[in-house]
């Protein structure tokens, strides 16, 4: 099978569809992998690393698509990529069609592309195996971003997440106790922040309470509780996900955050 790895063209997207170890495994299995020049550079993988494991480096976006029966991407295709689709081609990517422009769906249908969305791939037990690691990364990055945005130089309140003796830590509210929410709570808690997690599933809250040995607060995500929690939050993390559906920003409405007073808190939405 011919597999293409085009360079991502969306701004600030530095990931790559396949790493050299993944390419190595595919080549050893008898497949041919075409990697666009520079596709892995932003992720720390030079072209030579792909060539060393048997990939063929191509020099244009058109060739990465044109030679491929299966295209492996990260971000959903942009309008400038639609013209590269071939009839019967398979494209694997994060697609998020619920929030995508309608013209993407039209282009996929027009070219009769088999589109496989990573975020909807589930195992029989409901686990999302491809989305899971990216959700872990998103959750653990949340304090890094929040810490920068809380600085006065970033227009924030000048609050230190951990606090210091005599000064309380930042109040962090996480909406959703799934993979993103759990990892965000873990990272914020590790830095010394005061963490509250809200979820509509009592089992998720019980799991979090056991995991953190009661050292973070948990609340049922009723409209009243969300409004109460958001009112005192220095940082608000949206971590609600419904596979194949739009979550934020309508998760605000589902969780009742639209009823909460807005007091200049910092909001991070996944």
Task: Catalogue the active-site residues.
Answer: 96
Give the other-Cβ count within 10 Å of 121's Cβ.
14
Distances (CA, A) of 13 to 41, 152, 209: 11, 27, 35
3-state DSSP helix/strand/coil % of the chain, to nearest 5: 40, 20, 45
Q: What angle do CA 137, 220, 252 make, to 5 degrees?
A: 60
CA distance 67 to 164: 58
Dihedral of alpha carbons 136, 93, 68, 45, sign? negative
CA distance 129 to 133: 8
């Amino acid at each position: 099978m011919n597999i293409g790895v085009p360079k991502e063209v969306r701004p600030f997207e530095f990931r790559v569809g396949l790493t050299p170890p993944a390419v190595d495994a595919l080549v050893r299995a008898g497949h041919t992998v075409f990697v666009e020049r520079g596709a892995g550079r932003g992720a720390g993988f030079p072209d030579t690393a792909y060539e060393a494991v048997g990939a063929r480096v191509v020099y244009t976006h058109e060739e990465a698509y044109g030679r491929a029966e299966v295209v492996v991407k990260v971000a959903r295709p942009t309008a400038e990529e639609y013209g590269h689709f071939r009839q019967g081609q398979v494209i694997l990517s994060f697609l998020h069609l619920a929030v995508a422009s309608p013209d993407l769906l039209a282009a996929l249908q027009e070219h009769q592309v088999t589109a496989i969305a990573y975020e909807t791939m589930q195992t029989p037990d409901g686990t999302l195996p491809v989305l899971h690691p990216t959700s872990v990364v998103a959750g653990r990055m949340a304090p890094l971003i929040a810490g920068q945005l809380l600085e006065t130089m970033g227009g924030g309140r000048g609050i230190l997440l951990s606090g210091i003796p005599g000064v309380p830590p930042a109040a962090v509210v996480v909406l959703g106790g799934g993979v993103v929410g759990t990892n965000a709570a873990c990272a914020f808690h590790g830095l010394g922040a005061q963490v509250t997690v809200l979820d509509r599933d009592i089992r998720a809250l019980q799991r979090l309470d056991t995991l953190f040995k009661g050292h973070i607060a948990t609340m049922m995500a009723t409209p009243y509780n969300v409004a109460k929690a958001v009112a005192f939050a220095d940082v608000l993390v949206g971590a609600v996900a419904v596979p194949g559906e739009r979550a934020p920003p309508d998760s605000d409405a589902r969780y009742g955050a639209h009823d909460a007073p807005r007091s200049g808190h910092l909001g991070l939405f996944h």
